[in-house]
C-alpha cells in the first residue's frame, strides 16, 4: 500500500496555538490520533472566523469536510502547546483544500501534517453549492501568491 505524502507550502496563511490537555492523551501516553483531528478542527474554526465564515452562516451555507488525510510525524505529549498552521490551496468553484502542519511550539518538532478537502454546503437544499465570490476572494487573498487560484479556477 502506498503511503500518503502531503507536500507543504513554504508559507501558511494562518497559525494558532492549542495546548494539549489530559483528555487529548491516549493510553500510550501521547496525543490520540483521532483527537489530533479534533485539534485541527478547532484550528480550522478559528481560521474561518478570521475569514468571515459568519457571512456564510447568514445565507445558509457552511463549509464541510469532504475528505481528510493525515501524516503523523511524531508523538505529542500532555502539556505541550501545538502550533497549527494552515493555508487554502487548490481552489475550485465549490471548495478548496486546507493544508496544515502541527508542530510543538517549544521545540519546533513536527507532529503531523495533512489536508482537508473543504466544500461549500447549502443547508436548505442539502447539497453542495458554489462558494460566494466574496468568500473566495477573502480566502484567496490570505493564500500565499503561488497558492492563489487563477480567476477561472475558482469558478470551475
CATH number at residue 64: 3.10.129.10
Mean local confidence (pLDDT), 80-98: 96
Q: Which of helix, strand or coil describes residue 135?
A: helix
Q: Is residue 130 part of a domain?
A: yes
Domain presence at residue 8:
no
Task: Give the pLDDT confidence score for residue 147 in this predicted structure.
Answer: 54
Between CA 110 and CA 115 the distance in angstroms is: 15
Task: Give the pLDDT mean for 111-140.
Answer: 93
Question: Cα–Cα distance between 143 and 137 in angstroms, integer?
Answer: 10
If one counts the domains in the chain, the total is 1
Is the whole-model pTM more than 0.85? yes
Domain around 117: 14-155
Q: Specify if 129 maps to a domain.
A: yes
Q: Which residues pair with 127 in a beta bridge?
A: 122
> Widest CA span of the chain, in angstroms?
49
Nearest Cα residue to 141 out of 50, 42, 41, 10: 50
The reported pLDDT for the residue numbered 144 is 62
For residue 15, pLDDT beyond 90: yes
Round the average pLDDT of the chain to a whole number and report it. Answer: 90
User: How many other β-carbons are positioned within 10 Å of the β-carbon of residue 2?
Assistant: 4
Q: What is the pLDDT of residue 134?
A: 87
2: its cell numbers: 502506498
Q: Is residue 122 part of a domain?
A: yes
How large a percentage of the chain has pLDDT more than 70?
A: 90
Q: Is 126 left (phi over 0), alpha (psi -120 to 50) or beta?
A: left
**How many C-beta atoms surround the C-beta of residue 5 within 10 A?**
8
User: Quick check: is 5 in a domain?
Assistant: no
Is the CB of residue 87 less than 8 Å from the CB of residue 141?
Answer: no
Q: Each residue of 137-152: pLDDT tens digit?
A: 888 888 865 455 544 4
Establish if 113 belongs to a structural domain.
yes
| 94 domain residue, yes or no | yes
Residue with cell 457552511: 62
Domain assignment present for residue 147? The answer is: yes
Amino acid at each position: 500500500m502506498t503511503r500518503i505524502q502531503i507536500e507543504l507550502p513554504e508559507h501558511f496563511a494562518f497559525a494558532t496555538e492549542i495546548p494539549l490537555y489530559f483528555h487529548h492523551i491516549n493510553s500510550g501516553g501521547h496525543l490520540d490520533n483521532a483527537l489530533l483531528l479534533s485539534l485541527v478542527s478547532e484550528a480550522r474554526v478559528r481560521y474561518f472566523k478570521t475569514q468571515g465564515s459568519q457571512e456564510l452562516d447568514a445565507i445558509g451555507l457552511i463549509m464541510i469536510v469532504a475528505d481528510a488525510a493525515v501524516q503523523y510525524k511524531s508523538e505529542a505529549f500532555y502539556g505541550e502547546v501545538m502550533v497549527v498552521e494552515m493555508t487554502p490551496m487548490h481552489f475550485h468553484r465549490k471548495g478548496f483544500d486546507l493544508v496544515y502542519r502541527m508542530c510543538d511550539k517549544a521545540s519546533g518538532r513536527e507532529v503531523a501534517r495533512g489536508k482537508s478537502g473543504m466544500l461549500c454546503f447549502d443547508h436548505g437544499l442539502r447539497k453542495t453549492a458554489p462558494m460566494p465570490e466574496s468568500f473566495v476572494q477573502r480566502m484567496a487573498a490570505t493564500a500565499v501568491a503561488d497558492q492563489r487560484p487563477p480567476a477561472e479556477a475558482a469558478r470551475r
